[in-house]
Structure 1
Amino acid sequence: MNNMHNVRKLYLIRFFGSLIPAYVIERLFWESRGMTIQMVTYTEIIFAATVVLLEVPTGMLADRWGRKQMLLLSACLYAAELLLLVYAHAFWHFALAILLAGISRSASSGAENAFLYDCMLADGRAENFEKVLGRINALDLTAAILAALVGGWLAGTFELELHYWLSVASVLIVIVLTATLAEVRAETEDDEGKERKPLLDYLRTSIRFFKTHADVRSVVFTGMVIGSSVSFLYEFWQIYLARLAVPVAYFGLFSALVMLLGLPGNLLAHRLLVRYGARPLHLAATLLASVGFFFAAFVHHPVSLAAMLLTSLAAGIAEPIATGYLHHRIGDSSMRATIDSFQSLGLNAVLAASAIGFGLASAHFDVFGGYGFVGALCAAYAIWNVCSYRNKAT
C-alpha cells in the first residue's frame, strides 16, 4: 500500500478533529451547568497533571503496540469526552471528561508525529516532513477558524448543546478514518536484528538520546519555549482585549486573526528551513515573540494587538521546524513515538513553570505584567541561545 494514502487520511483526521464548534461556547456552556471559574481551574490542573504523567508512557505504548492503535484510542476517548459533557451537570462529570481529554491528548501526541514520519520515511519522502506537517497544522487552524465562525452563528440561533452534538459527529468521522489507517513501520539500519525491547528500555534509550544530542536539545527546547509562550496568548487574549476596552463584537475577528497568522509560518517553514537553517529561524522566532509580548505589556493601545499577532506567526514557524529537526535525527524508528512524547512532556513542563511567573506578574500588574514576564522570558532565552551557539554551525 502507498503510505501516502495514510498521509492524506491524516490531513482529514486533523481537519475533522479540529472542526469542533463546542470550543467556541465551551465556557458559556460550562457556566450554564454550574461550573464556576474556580471549578474550571481545578479541571485545568487535572488535565495538565494527566498529560504530564501519561505523555511518555503512552509514547512507549505507541512504539511497542502500534501508533494506529493509540490514535484510535485517542479518538474514541475524545468522543467519550464530548458525549459526557453533553450530559454533565456536576463537577465530577466535568472532571471525568477532562481526565479523558488528558488521556486522549497523551495517547495521540507522540503517536501522530511518529506515524506521519514513518509513513514518509517508508515512502522515501522523509525530507518533506516539515512541509507536510506544516500543511497539516495549517489545515488544523483552518478547521478551527471554520468551527469558530459556524459555532458563533449557531450560538445566536440554537441551544448550546447542539455544538456538542455536531462536535461528536465530527469526531466520529475521525474514528472511522483512523480505523482505516494501515499501520506502518519504517525499517532503518538501527532496527535490523533487534528483538522487541522491554518497556523500560524505551525510557532509558530516549533519555540517552537527548543526553548525546546537544543540538537536538537546543532546537527542541527553543520550540518548547515558544510553544509555551504562545499558550499565554491563546488563553488570556480575551482578558487583554477587555482591559483595552475593545468591544466584544471584535473578539471573534481577533480570534480568527490569531489563528490565521499561524498559517504562513506553518506553510513556509520548510522553505525557510532550507534557506536559513533551524537555529537562526528559531532565534528569529523567539525574538519575534519577545517583541510581541513586550509591545503588549507596555503599549496599552489597540495598536499593540498587531504586535501580539507576531507571537502566533512565530509559533507557526517554530513548531514544524522543531518537530522535524527531532525526527530526522531519530535513527531507531521503533523509538520514534517515545522520543517525540518527551518533546510534548517538556513543553508542558516549561508551560507549568512559566505559568508560576506569569501568575505572580499578573497578580501585581494585571495581564500586562504577565505578558511582560513572558516577553522577558523569550528575550532571556534568545540571549542565552546566541551566547551558547554563537560559534557553532547550524
Structure 2
Amino acid sequence: MENKRNIRLMYAIALLQGMVFYGPIATLYRQAAGVSVFQITLIESISLALALALEVPWGILADRIGYRRSMILCCGLYFLSKIVFWQADGFGGFLAERLMLSVVCAGLSGLDVSILYLSCPEQESHRVFGVYNNLGMAGLLAASAVYAVFVGENYRLAGLLTVFSYGAAAVLALFLREVRSSQPRTASHQLADFAALLKQLAHSPRLLLLVLAAAFLNEAHQTITTFLNQVQYTRAGLSASAIAVIYVVMTLLGLCGGFSARLTGWLGERRTGALLLGLAAAACLALALTHGPLVSIAAILLLRVCHSLFTPLQTTLQNRQVTTGDRATALSLNALLMDLVAVFTNLVFGRAADFFLPLAMGFGFALCFAGLVLYLASSRPKAGDLE
C-alpha cells in the first residue's frame, strides 16, 4: 500500500541525517579534543563489534514493537549521540558517542528500507531507494559546502550544527505512520521465528550469493574511497587543496544512484549488476597498477559511481527475496553477514596497505571480481525462464 507521507518524511530524514557538518574534519575534530589516531581506530573496532552483536536483536525488536516506534527510538538516540559528540573531550566521550551510534546503526539496519519498501508500490521501490540514497548524499554535500564557506576552523560549531540537523530529523520521525500491524509475540515465538529465518537464509543460495557480492563491493568501495584514496592521492603528488576538490566531486557523483532504475530499465537487472561490478574491478586494478594522478582520480571516481548505481539495485533484489512478514529481521540477518565480511576485509586491507599500497588495491580488485562471479551466479536464470 502506498504511503506518500512516510516516503516524504523518510526522504527528509535522510537529507537531515546526511548533514554531518564535521564530516570533512572528523579526524581533526577528535585529535583537537586529545584523541590519538590509534584511539580513533580502537573506538571504531569496539563500535563494530557492538553493532554486530545488536544487528539481529534490533531486527526482532523492530518486528515486535513496530517499525514506526523503532524508527523514533533510533532517530532520538541518533540525536543524543550527536550532542555527546559535540561536547566530547577525550577518549571516553568519543567512545560513548560511538557506542550509542552502534546501537543506532544496528537498529536502522533493514528498518529504514523496510519502511520505504512497504510504503510504496513494489514497482516503484527501485526508484524510491535511489532517491533516498541520493538525499543522504545531498545532505552531506550541503553540509560540506557550509563547512567550507562558513565554519572554517571552528570545529565545535560544526558539531553544534550537526546537533540541529539530527534534532530536526528526530522530530520528523514522530510523524511517521506504521506500515504493518504490530502484534506482540512471546519470546519463544520470536526465537522460533529467528531460527526459521536463519534456516531460510541458509537454504536460499541465490540470496546468500547476492549478499556476499554486495558486501564485497561495499567494502572495496568503503575502504578505498574513504581511507586509501588519500594515501593514493598523496602518492600521486596531489596537494591538499586538490584532494579537497576531488572530495566534493566524489560526493556529487554519489548522487548518481537516482539513475540506477533507468539504467536497469535499459540493460536489465543482471546485465546492470554485472557491468557495475566489472567496472569496479577494473577501477581497482588500475589503482593497483599505477599511481599517476589522472588515472588515480578517474579510477576512484569510477568506483564511487559503480557503488552508487549498484546500491539501489541490490537493495531492491534483497527486499524482493524476503518472503517472511518479519522483513526487518530478515534484512538484519543480511546486514549481519555483510558486517562479518567487513571485519575480515578491513584487517586484510589494513595489513596490505601498511606493507604495499598497490597490494591493498589488488585486494580490492579481487573482491570486486569475486563479487561479479557471485552476482552472476545469484542472478542466473532458472530453468524455463527467459532473461
TM (norm. structure 1) is 0.90
- Between the aligned partners of 1:211 and 1:349, the Cα distance in structure 2 is 16
Q: CA deviation at 1:175?
A: 0.7
1:184 corresponds to which letter in structure 2? V
Q: Does 1:283 align with 2:278?
A: no
Aligned equivalent of 1:306 = 298
- Between the aligned partners of 2:7 and 2:376, the Cα distance in structure 1 is 37
2:169 corresponds to which letter in structure 1? V
Aligned equivalent of 1:344 = 335
Q: CA deviation at 1:374?
A: 0.9
Aligned equivalent of 1:274 = 265
**Is the partner of 2:22 in helix, strand or coil?**
helix
Counterpart of 1:174 (choices 166, 169, 172) is: 169
- Between the aligned partners of 1:321 and 1:384, the Cα distance in structure 2 is 15
> Do the aligned partners of 1:295 and 1:308 also contact (CA within 8 Å) in 2?
no
> Do the aligned partners of 2:232 and 2:291 also contact (CA within 8 Å) in 1?
no
Aligned equivalent of 1:101 = 101
Q: Does 1:371 align with 2:361?
A: yes
Structure 1: runs of 5+ lacking an equivalent: none
> Do the aligned partners of 1:293 and 1:374 also contact (CA within 8 Å) in 2?
yes
Percent identity of paired positions between Structure 1 and Structure 2: 25
Residue pairs, 1:1-394, within 5 angstroms: 3-120=3-120, 125-156=121-152, 159-185=154-180, 198-236=189-227, 237-264=229-256, 266-304=257-295, 305-333=297-325, 335-365=326-356, 367-383=357-373, 386=376
Q: 1:88 to 1:209 in 2, by over 3 A?
A: same
Q: CA deviation at 1:356?
A: 2.2
- Between the aligned partners of 2:219 and 2:193, the Cα distance in structure 1 is 26
TM (norm. structure 2) is 0.92
Give the number of aligned pairs. 381
Q: 1:362 to 1:107 in 2, by over 3 A?
A: same
**Is the partner of 1:94 in helix, strand or coil?**
helix
- Between the aligned partners of 1:361 and 1:12, the Cα distance in structure 2 is 40
- Between the aligned partners of 1:210 and 1:368, the Cα distance in structure 2 is 36
- Between the aligned partners of 2:253 and 2:262, the Cα distance in structure 1 is 17
> Do the aligned partners of 1:240 and 1:368 also contact (CA within 8 Å) in 2?
no
Q: 1:147 to 1:202 in 2, by over 3 A?
A: farther
Q: 1:86 to 1:245 in 2, by over 3 A?
A: same
- Between the aligned partners of 1:186 and 1:268, the Cα distance in structure 2 is 33
Structure 2: runs of 5+ lacking an equivalent: none
Q: CA deviation at 1:338?
A: 0.6
| 94-103 vs 208-217, which moves further | 208-217
- CA distances 1:84-128 after superposition (whole Å, capped 9, x unpaired): 1222222111111100011111111211111111112xxxx1211
- Between the aligned partners of 1:289 and 1:77, the Cα distance in structure 2 is 35
Q: CA deviation at 1:385?
A: 5.2
- Between the aligned partners of 1:387 and 1:340, the Cα distance in structure 2 is 21
1:54 corresponds to which letter in structure 2? L
Q: CA deviation at 1:47?
A: 1.5
Question: What's the RMSD between the two structures over aligned residues?
Answer: 2.3
- Between the aligned partners of 1:207 and 1:3, the Cα distance in structure 2 is 30
Q: CA deviation at 1:55?
A: 1.1
**Is the partner of 2:322 in helix, strand or coil?**
coil
- CA distances 1:330-351 after superposition (whole Å, capped 9, x unpaired): 2333x10011112222222112
1:379 corresponds to which letter in structure 2? F
Q: CA deviation at 1:207?
A: 1.4
1:83 corresponds to which letter in structure 2? I
- Between the aligned partners of 1:61 and 1:356, the Cα distance in structure 2 is 31
Q: CA deviation at 1:44?
A: 0.6
